[in-house]
Structure 1
């Protein structure tokens, strides 16, 4: 019997964990498969091992793993596959099929651009805030994301900063883009859910607002219906990756 195991990142933020759980439950309600379980890579329960074992306890012999990750960095390339490989060794009779992360795709760029337009009204410059990674593929992905949003929003200045593991940092990115002119700056946290990282972005944006700077931001990407639709497409797709 087939099952779906959703894997989100996890967070220490109660608000972020609640958002992720509510999101996954909405997805589950739209998919006609009896065995569906959620799990988290870290910081939020249930973890992957527990979610996996719940699927088996409910009779699963094929587990379709659906990672709720925007891009393919270390967690997708190493951490999740390692955990699944260990589980495969413990449960050799269970077939594990892992789906792709979201990747850079038109639907997400369209959704991100709509979130920005609906929140800002008018802007001159856009700062995309990424989680951050030392993986070079992530930097190539964000180059595409920046170009795609620049085209969709019709603005000349779009740049990217990172919350960890890469430069420029959030503080550097904000200071740099604010120095580029006097018009309205808009900040797009390229994150699926709220959490400690999005709270950090909000703090830095509010600090500059209090200093009189013209700056606004949007919420996480999962606020747009298109993200939920994409997860359902991923869960229903027959395409897999080998771990």
Structure 2
């Protein structure tokens, strides 16, 4: 019997954990797979090992693991594969398939553009955009954010756009925000490239609120329904099943 194990990042903030679980419950309702479980890489429960065990207890004979990660970096390349390698030793007869992170997709960029317009209906070409990523020591992150900048710039018609990060790489968020404020005569629209609430998003929200009405922060990406469809597509691609159920 097929099973899907969703793997979220996890957070110390209960609100963020609940958002992730609610988001994934919506995804699971769109997927016609008999066994589906939720797990987290760190900070939240159940763990990947616990989620996998639940799949097995429910009769899983093969497990597809779907990371709820926006981009491919250390967690995707190292941490999750290492966890699964350990689990495979305990369950050698159960095939494990690891799906990819979301990556830079046109429908995600479309969703971001819509979130910006929802928050700033009077957006003009004189406004500036600041994309805020989680950050990673993986060098590919900068390449990915260059693609994201270009895609959002094309969709919104705004020339002044840059990226910054909350951890692990430069430029740091607070430096990026100050630089953008110094260089921008009009409003700065802050785009958190994050899925759910958490301590990182709280840091962004607090900094934006302190800067007053010139800085407008949009909602995290999971607020757009298109993100659920992204996960459904990744989870079911290549699987022989009646994958997508009607809403």
**TM-score, with length taken from structure 1:** 0.95
Q: CA RMSD in A?
A: 0.9
Deviation at 1:120, TM superposition (A): 1.2
CA contact (8 A) 1:39 1:51 kept: yes
Match of 2:99 in 1: 99
Of 195, 199, 202, the residue aligned with 2:198 is 195
The aligned length equals 236
**Deviation at residue 34 of structure 1 after TM alignment:** 1.4
What residue is the counterpart of 1:85 in the other structure? 85
CA distance in 2, matches of 1:107, 1:98: 22
Question: SS of the counterpart of 1:179?
Answer: helix
Q: Which runs of structure 1 show a deviation greater than 6 angstroms over 4 or more consecutive aligned residues?
A: none
Q: Does 1:159 align with 2:162?
A: yes
Aligned to 1:179: 182
Aligned to 2:222: 222
Report the Cα distance in structure 1 between the residues aligned to 2:145 and 2:173, rounded to whole angstroms.
Answer: 15
**Structure 1 CA distance, aligned partners of 2:161 and 2:81?**
34
Aligned residue in 1 for 2:244 = none
Distance in 1, matches of 2:104 and 2:194, equals 13
CA distance in 1, matches of 2:180, 2:238: 42
Match in the other structure for 2:43: 43
Distance 2:47 2:99 in 1: 18
Report SS of the residue matched to 2:93: coil
Aligned counterpart for 2:171 among listed residues 150, 168, 172: 168
**Displacement, 1:181?**
2.3
Q: Is the 8 A contact 1:113 1:149 kept in 2?
A: yes
Q: Unpaired segments of 5 or more residues in structure 1?
A: none
Alpha-carbon distance in 1 for matches of 2:185, 2:193: 24
Whole-angstrom distance in 2 between the partners of 1:128 and 1:98: 28
Q: Is the 8 A contact 1:194 1:219 kept in 2?
A: no
Greater Cα shift, 195-204 or 213-222: 213-222
Partners in 2 of 1:181 and 1:196 — Cα distance?
27
1:97-129 deviation digits (Å, cap 9, x = unpaired): 011110011010110111011111225100000
Contact 1:162-1:168 at 8 Å conserved across structures: yes
| SS of alignment partner, residue 66 of structure 1 | strand
Displacement after TM superposition at 1:93 (Å): 0.5
- Residue deviations 1:22-53 (CA, integer Å, cap 9, x gap): 00111111111110000000000001000000
Instruction: State how far apart, in whole Å, the 1-side matches of 2:28 and 2:87 are.
Output: 23
Q: Measure how far apart 1:143 and its partner are.
A: 0.4
Number of the residue aligned with 1:59:
59
Please give the alpha-carbon distance, in whole angstroms, between the structure 1 residues aligned to 2:197 and 2:137: 22
Query: What's 1:19 paired with?
Result: 19
In structure 2, stretches of 5+ residues that fail to align are 240-247
TM-score by length of 2: 0.94
**In the alignment, what sits opposite 1:126?**
129
